[in-house]
Amino acid sequence: MIFNQGTSKGYKRTITVLFSLIFFLITIELGMRFTGTMILFTQDSRNNILLDDKNLIRILTVGESTTADIFSGSMLSWPRQLEKLLNSNGKKFRVYNVGLTATTTGQILARLPDQLEFYKPHIVITMMGINDPSTYWLSPADSNLIQNLRLFKLAKTTYKNFLKLLKNQPTFINGYYDLEGYENIVKQLELQEFSQVRPQIEKKIRGLSSIERGKILFFLGNKISHGVEVISKRTANSRLLLRWSLEEYFLIKNALASYIYTARFENIQDCFPLTKKFLDLGGELDDILLSNLEYCVENAASSEKSRWMNLLKNNPLELQIKPVISIVQQTRENYLMAHALLKKNSIKHIAMEYPLTSIAGLKAFFSADGKIKKEYDDIIFAENIDNFQSLLKIHPYEYLFTDRFADYFGHTTDVGHSLIAQSAQKATMVLVKNLNSSNSF
């Protein structure tokens, strides 16, 4: 009898300890999710949620570099200009911009649920799809419930970092460098062949450490890559500078991603060995590098696809190479899933098309037999073709665009951003008018 009582007490203690441990782990998991969300969304002070935002009409803008603040020289991206336009007669709107460079519709869709939960927008404006790959895309392997836990990811990251320490892997450094004194070289790189300018660069960086030389070349390459002639001379010079930078010092953050991006229209024969070296040295696959690597996978010979699959699946992200049956189909599916998510949360959707691009293609995603389906008739569409074409009749291309990354259009100047903002403003006001008449706000 004493044995049974002791055993019973032992079981109770064990159960108590287990429940306490489970409660402790759940508390940590929830705390990590909350902390991670706060860190993720407070990076950009421009998106800080203010006390009076709850009384305003909240708008979330999603997209890639054509939407992101980083590509607007004076930080006048179209979402920032949109907020000013909407509030010209008094503050009634708040615009949050979560546009991120080099992202695909799949990556945007993956981040959207957390963004909706955090910002709680009334309206979401989408302008996305230009970065979607045409043949193959990379995505994380399907994960189960345990693999999605923050604790599991923390344990995995800790283990990975422990292995790094054992292997004594080097640390990647920031590539920022003050180019004071290189202004003349920058101008020559914009106008002359690389072979004509290289001797001057070699003379300028002679005697510096390999790290300093690598940083200077990396920053020069990025400096000249954002120009009007980005698909011609500047692209070639930028690509050669970034390749030279990797030769001087490989461990510069974003150097490989930048090189692959500038070489994306070329046959990047050294893409695989460079990526393998990057991963072997402990490099991390972020969104930018991941999107740029899709160019390598897409242009690789069929015999090399298996090499890529083996390389990427053994990476901590466990990436898969998936075939894209149709780029239009993949983009369409992601658009439909994004809209379904917005509708589920009672959020209104403005679907905006890129500059100089007909809205017909975007509308086709939501259409059947040439007509918008009934379940999508609440979408407001915004076009940016007539506004840009009218100005291009009286102004040169560089008045509206800084490059030609999408062939027939590129990243916009402040003036170009203002045209997109005006288009978004018109669509927003149409939507708000409809909602006010139905007492939805």
Report the CATH number that the domain containing residue 391 is assigned in CATH.
Answer: 3.40.50.1110
* Residue 4 placed within a domain: yes
Q: What's the rounded Cα separation, in Å, for the pair 251 and 373? A: 51
Instruction: Assign residue 370 a region (left: φ > 0; alpha: ψ between -120 and 50; beta: otherwise).
Output: left
Identify whether 143 is part of a domain: no
Please check whether residue 401 is in contact with residue 228, taking contact to mean a CB–CB distance below 8 angstroms: yes
Q: In the chain, count of helices (H) and strands (E)?
A: 16, 9
Instruction: Examine the pLDDT at 152 and tell me if it is beyond 50.
Output: yes
**Do 300 and 379 reside in the same domain of the chain?**
no
Tokens of 337: 């899933």
Q: Say if residue 297 is in the same domain as residue 285.
A: yes
Coil, helix or strand at residue 135: coil
Domain assignment present for residue 139? The answer is: no
Residue 22 lies in a domain: yes
Residues 40/96, Cβ–Cβ less than 8 Å: no
* pLDDT more than 70, % of the chain: 71
Domain count, the chain: 3
pTM of the model: 0.63
Q: Which of 80, 81, 77, 59 is nearest to 68 (CA)?
A: 77
195 and 340 share one domain: no
Which of 323, 343, 368 delimits the end of a domain? 323
Q: Tell me which of 36-45, 182-191, 203-212, 427-436 is least confident.
A: 36-45
Give the pLDDT confidence score for residue 289 in this predicted structure: 78
Q: What is the pLDDT of residues 214-249, one digit of tens each?
A: 999 998 888 887 544 444 567 788 889 999 999 999
pLDDT of residue 36: 43
In three-state secondary structure terms, 300 is coil
Residues 362 and 420 in one domain: yes
Instruction: Please report whether residue 190 resides in a domain.
Output: yes
Q: Which of 357, 361, 354, 352 is nearest to 380 (CA)?
A: 352
Contacts of 410-417 with C-beta under 8 Å, sequence gap 24+, read: 410/230, 411/65, 411/66, 411/71, 411/226, 412/66, 412/72, 412/78, 412/355, 413/73, 414/72, 414/73, 414/74, 414/76, 415/391, 416/355, 416/388, 417/72, 417/76, 417/77, 417/78, 417/81
**Of 268, 294, 323, which residue constitutes the final position of a domain?**
323
Q: How confident is the model at residue 441 (pLDDT cuts 50, 70, 90)?
A: low
59, 86: one domain: yes
Same domain, 30 and 163: no
Joined together, the tokens standing for residue 398 give 């560089």
Residue 343 and residue 296 share a domain: no
Per the model's pLDDT, the better-predicted residue between 201 and 15 turns out to be 201
Mean pLDDT of 350-373: 93
* Residue positions counted in the chain: 441
Q: Do both 18 and 76 map to the same domain?
A: no
DSSP 164-225: HHHHTPPPPB------TT-HHHHHHHHHS-HHHHHHHHHHHHTTS-HHHHHHHHHHHHHHHH
Domain boundary among 275, 308, 323: 323
Pairing verdict, β 319-323 and 93-97: unpaired
pLDDT band at 290 (very low <50, low <70, confident <90, very high): confident
pLDDT higher than threshold 70 for residue 101: yes
260 and 397 share one domain:
no
Contact yes or no for 372/336 (Cβ under 8 A): no
Q: Sign of the CA dihedral 392, 396, 400, 403? A: positive
Judge whether 240 lies within some domain: yes
Looking at the structure, tell me whether residues 188 and 319 fall in a common domain: yes
Contact of 208 with 245, CB cutoff 8 Å? no
pLDDT-derived band at 37 (thresholds 50, 70, 90) equals: very low
60 & 26 share domain = no
Element (H, E) at 4: helix 2-41
Greatest mean pLDDT among 16-30, 140-154, 193-207 lies in: 193-207
Distance, CA of 230 to CA of 71 (rounded, Å): 14
In a domain, 145, yes or no: no
- Gap between the terminal Cα atoms of the chain: 70
Residue 141 lies in a domain: no
Q: Is the domain of 261 the same as that of 384?
A: no
Higher pLDDT, 88 or 137: 88
Higher-pLDDT residue of 9 and 214 is 214
Residue 127's pLDDT is 97
Q: Which domain holds residue 17?
A: 1-43
Any idea what DSSP says for residue 412? B
Rounded to whole angstroms, how far apart are CA atoms 402 and 411?
Answer: 6
